[in-house]
Structure 1
Amino acid sequence: MASRIFSWLPSIPYPPSQDGRWSPVTSTLNWCEEDYYATIYAAEIVNTLTNLLFMYLAVKGIDNCLTNGHDRIFLVTFAGYLIVGTGSFLFHATLKYPMQLVDELSMIYTTCLMCYATFSYRKSRRFATGLAVFLVCMALFITLYYHYLQDPTFHQNAYGLLTAIVLFRSVWIMEINIRPKFRSQEREAANPRPNRGPQAAQDQEDLRDEEILRQMWTMIAWGLSIFMGGFAIWQLDNVFCPTLIRWRRQIGLPWGIVLEGHGWWHLMTGVGAYFYIVWGIWLRHCLNYRQDDYELVWPRLTSMPVVVKHRTRHANGYHNGSAKKLE
């Protein structure tokens, strides 16, 4: 059927699979992309190269942290994000079990970093130290138990649970600390807004924060939709793998690449995770009442957001601090 529909497209046949530079496969997972059909140096060429987006966004995030002085925890998180992309690149290129561990466990470790950033904010040093010890022990347990089980379902469930906890906690912190009607008196007492002026100025700040929240929710919804969309495509790739392989061979190259579902998972989860880290950076500055020192630059939905220092201020001393209007 697929060959009849797309017969008008110029294409070349898929080469047969062959032994590769890294044969034999020792990983406990092997994805729907056929092995070593394009080159002997990459077991899964599409799944390998789609990780380049991870690496690019990680370098972009690291550069942004260094240039704009964001909290060090986010610099470390982007470094972990880079390791995730690099580990996945090596895993899909080789399909070796050690590279599989680098790929999958670095996802756990990076999420633990975000968990620390989320739960340790404005806590005592004793609490932060205890949380760090707990997260290190938990990461060690997941590492050892996963190596013992060698069951990818355990890793996927652990990663999904950690990600959900961090996401819901971050949303809770965002709402109760930034939305004017929820902003607690305890927060104001513990971390009062600088330069509290007359009521008119406070009302202006509240309007600014409402606009920031609107943009944050847009970022959350967009990033989460991309992430979950990638997950859905990956699941379809798992369920309909034999059919997809047959269609790819009927269509031929390069068009068959579009049906590589796990490659789409890399691209879409890479973007979704980047959105989440940038949101965390922007949220941290807002919690520190630095909305007038930084801004979220996100001109349109299809662009990658960044948080940067303000270069100029309005003449009245205020800057709206919100994301640039989406086109």
Structure 2
Amino acid sequence: MNWAIPFFPYPPSKPGFWSPVTSTLNWCEEDYYATVYSAEIVNTLTNLLFMALGVKGIISCIRNQHDQIFLVAYLGYLVVGTGSFLFHTTLKYPMQLVDELSMIYTTCLMVYASFAFSRPTGVRVAIGVSLSALSVFITLYYHYLQDPTFHQNTYALLTIVVVFRSMYTMEKTLRPKWRKSREEDRLEKEKRGLPVPSKERQHFENVRDTKLLATMWCMVGYGLAMFLGGFAIWNLDNHFCSDIRRWRRQVGLPWGIFLEGHGWWHIMTGIGAYLYIVWGIQLRHCLKGQQDDYHLHWARVWHIPDVVRTAPSSKGANSQQKKLS
């Protein structure tokens, strides 16, 4: 059956500006068919979303005065996108290391943010040293093995650890039934000489946090769906590469672009990873009791969320009086 929609035939692959390929991975997209200056043009350009969201996150961190660990995390996120851009442009082994190892380092930063918050200085130092040593070990061992499966499994394990830890922390912090009873909380605050919230204020906080918790769980589900969906598409791309290449040539350009599975992986994991950092920022503000000072702005599921600082007028004397009443 002939493809009825107008299309341009795929150009043949040709020697490229960055030849020869030295990376240990080469994806299903054919090399140098669009331009001699980019080995995998779709896999390259889909990283622009990573880079744009990285810049957006950095600007948001500076503007809204989020903790500096998240500014560093966004810088790492930007390095991941830039490294992947360079890797798929050149298919050179050094660029592959920039791409893959920056994923490990950025995830280790999020592990530190999750486990070290509000811990004594000695514990924070121990966690930081341990994660640094782990990063060095992964770097050296991966360079020795040059086995992409080791990198993928390590990245997946680190991500699972930090996501489940953050889920536990979120529930414990925001779910009213998991907190201390109101009387226990009142007695502890009285003992420490802290203001005791009124029943009305306690009810307000419970309703506020329950609504926020529902939004944050929605973000978790959406982010996981992006990660798992992108992983599934990428695996189909790996297992059925010869068939997919044939289908691409049958439908031609630009329609064949939509069959680039690794490109979809970039888009979907870029969104998923960005959602996770935003989620981590909001969770940190909740741990610091700043739910009234910061707002998780996410109007629609298809919008890019952000944690924004509340307008100064809403944090003035009246707001402080409410907290203490």
**TM-score scaled by length of structure 1:** 0.92
Q: 2:104: which partner in 1? A: 108
1:131-146 equivalences under 5 Å are: 131-146=127-142
Contact residue 40 and residue 88 of structure 2 kept, 8 A: yes
Secondary structure, counterpart of 1:295 in structure 2: strand
Q: 2:254: which partner in 1? A: 254
Structure 2 residue 222 is the aligned partner of structure 1 residue 222: yes
CA distance in structure 2 between the partners assigned to 1:81 and 1:111 by the alignment? 9
Q: 1:90: which partner in 2? A: 86
Secondary structure, counterpart of 2:307 in structure 1: strand
Secondary structure, counterpart of 1:181 in structure 2: helix
Per-residue Cα deviation, 1:130-171 (whole angstroms, up to 9, x for no partner): 000000000000000000000000000000000000000000
CA distance in structure 1 between the partners assigned to 2:185 and 2:79 by the alignment? 36
Q: CA deviation at 1:66?
A: 0.1
Q: CA deviation at 1:195?
A: 4.8
Q: Could you list the runs of 4 or more consecutive aligned residues of structure 1 that deviate by over 6 angstroms after TM superposition? A: 185-188
Q: 1:313: which partner in 2? A: 314
Q: CA deviation at 1:313?
A: 2.7
Q: 1:27: which partner in 2? A: 23
Structure 2 residue 61 is the aligned partner of structure 1 residue 65: yes
Q: 1:243: which partner in 2? A: 243
Contact residue 70 and residue 277 of structure 2 kept, 8 A: yes
Q: Which of 118, 137, 154 is equivalent to 1:158?
A: 154
CA distance in structure 1 between the partners assigned to 2:157 and 2:220 by the alignment? 18
Secondary structure, counterpart of 2:314 in structure 1: coil
Q: CA deviation at 1:196?
A: 3.4
Q: 1:274: which partner in 2? A: 274
Q: 1:324: which partner in 2? A: none
Contact residue 177 and residue 184 of structure 1 kept, 8 A: no
Contact residue 176 and residue 184 of structure 1 kept, 8 A: no
Q: Which of 166, 172, 178 is equivalent to 2:168?
A: 172
The code of the aligned residue for 1:294 comes to: Y
The code of the aligned residue for 2:319 comes to: G
Contact residue 293 and residue 315 of structure 2 kept, 8 A: no
CA distance in structure 1 between the partners assigned to 2:112 and 2:180 by the alignment? 23
CA distance in structure 2 between the partners assigned to 1:18 and 1:194 by the alignment? 72
Per-residue Cα deviation, 1:225-246 (whole angstroms, up to 9, x for no partner): 1111111100000011000000
Per-residue Cα deviation, 1:222-279 (whole angstroms, up to 9, x for no partner): 1111111111100000011000000000110000000000000000000000000000
Contact residue 15 and residue 36 of structure 2 kept, 8 A: yes
Contact residue 219 and residue 279 of structure 2 kept, 8 A: yes
Corresponding pairs, count: 314
Q: Whose helix fraction is larger, Structure 1's or Structure 2's? A: 2
Contact residue 285 and residue 291 of structure 2 kept, 8 A: yes
Q: CA deviation at 1:194?
A: 7.2
CA distance in structure 2 between the partners assigned to 1:184 and 1:68 by the alignment? 31
Aligned pair in 2 of structure 1 residues 128, 264: CA closer, same or farther (>3 Å)?
Answer: same
Q: CA deviation at 1:99?
A: 0.3
Contact residue 196 and residue 202 of structure 1 kept, 8 A: no
Which residues of structure 2 form unaligned runs of 5+? 321-325
Q: 1:13: which partner in 2? A: 9
The code of the aligned residue for 2:126 comes to: G
Q: 2:39: which partner in 1? A: 43
